[in-house]
Amino acid sequence: MSTNDLRVGVVGAGMMGADHIKRINATIAGATVSAVVEPDEQRRAAALATAPGAEGYGRLEDALDADALDAVLIATPGKFHTPVLLPALAAGLPILCEKPLTQDPESSWEVLEAEQATGRRLIQVGFMRRFDPEYAALRELIAAGSAGDLLMLHCAHRNASVPDSYIQPMLINDSVVHEFDVVPWLAGGSIVNVEVRAGKRNSLTPDRLREPILVLMELDNGVIVDVEMNVSIQFGYQVATEAVFEKGVARIGQPGGLQLWQDGAFRIGEHADFTTRFATAYDRQVQAWVDAARQGGIDGPSAWDGYKVAVACQAGVKALESSGPIAVELPPTPDFYA
């Protein structure tokens, strides 16, 4: 344990938590996992085996009482976020909370109030796309204005397949949720309405799902956005965006790396899932958060960003079951987040 390393307590030792424990100890500078908080004993033990020097706890409160950590990384399922966020805020610790902030606008608002009560922005939400080099490059291009103003965004969000636990509303809450954060971040406006169109169903999608869907958004700066949300496309994992400017077009998320000519075709391997597509984004996100947390702050999407996404998701889920645009209504931005 370093005297100046950030002591990170990871809450939730499922797939995502285990991945973060490995990342912090193996690839992040200036941080060490000091505590693993996981009620399930078996999972906790397995995680501790990969985190030399870390202590295990069943509840965050116990880890806090033991002064076992300087910062909290929350990797539990979304429905368990609030009960972890509140004591972490109460303890005044920097927090990296995997998306979503919480599962609905009401509980997210409650978290906003708790954060404001601390007088400091302590919560960073894990919308890692903002740390992807290509998303960052596209945002710079938009900001530079060298291609003129941004007019439209065409997004494609494609998964080869989804697990049995994936149900219809997750098309919005687990998948489009990323576009709800990254699109305003790119385009510099906020979402005013959302429409969902479901056309021909993919016969390879599980019976419980009706997809792919086409999600249409309008931003308050006039930018139009369409998102193809697709979770059974078989060929691989692809997250791409085409930005239409006044004088040009930009595209990110295209294939790269080793090129191979074989069996009658030129080919470039495509990603199989998000772990490779966004590996760099996850590393950069956690490094940025660790660097900021060592100064007691955050460096990424705020709790307010998390709240706005929760409101958009609520409208999106409604749009899933209706036709035509559903309005996205936000309260005024609290001064604290202005």
Q: Which of residues 23-42 bind a copy of itself (CB under 8 A)?
A: 24-30, 32
**CB of 18 or CB of 28, closer to a copy of itself:** 28
Could you give the CA distance from residue 84 to residue 74 in angstroms, rounded to a whole number? Answer: 8
CB of 236 to a copy of itself, least distance (A): 5
163, two tokens: 């697990």
**CB of 7 or CB of 81, closer to a copy of itself:** 7
**CB of 86 or CB of 250, closer to a copy of itself:** 250
Contact 294, 111 (CB under 8 A): no
Q: Which of residues 196-225 bind a copy of itself (CB under 8 A)?
A: 197, 199-204, 212, 214, 216, 218, 221-224
Contact 13, 73 (CB under 8 A): no
Q: Which of residues 94-133 bind a copy of itself (CB under 8 A)?
A: 133
CB of 27 to a copy of itself, least distance (A): 5
DSSP assignment of 65-113 equals: HTT--SEEEE-S-GGGHHHHHHHHHHTT--EEEPSPSSSSHHHHHHHHH
With residue 185 as reference, give the H or E element that holds it. Answer: helix 177-187
Q: Which of residues 254-313 bind a copy of itself (CB under 8 A)?
A: 254-270, 272, 287, 291
Going 41 to 43 to 49 to 53, the CA torsion angle's sign is negative
CB of 108 to a copy of itself, least distance (A): 28
Could you give the CA distance from residue 253 to residue 330 in angstroms, rounded to a whole number? Answer: 30
Could you give the CA distance from residue 274 to residue 159 in angstroms, rounded to a whole number? Answer: 9
Give the number of C-alpha atoms closer than 13 A to the C-alpha of residue 121, restricted to the C-beta side.
19
**322 touches a copy of itself (CB under 8 A):** no
**CB of 49 or CB of 258, closer to a copy of itself:** 258
Among 45, 90, 137, 143, binds a copy of itself (CB under 8 A): 137
Among 46, 170, 244, 330, binds a copy of itself (CB under 8 A): 244
Q: Give Cβ neighbours of residue 220 (< 8 Å, ≥ 6 apart).
A: 189, 190, 191, 192
CB of 203 to a copy of itself, least distance (A): 6
Among 72, 84, 114, 141, binds a copy of itself (CB under 8 A): 141
Please give the DSSP secondary-structure letter assigned to residue 80: G
Task: Count residues near a copy of itself (CB under 8 A).
Answer: 84
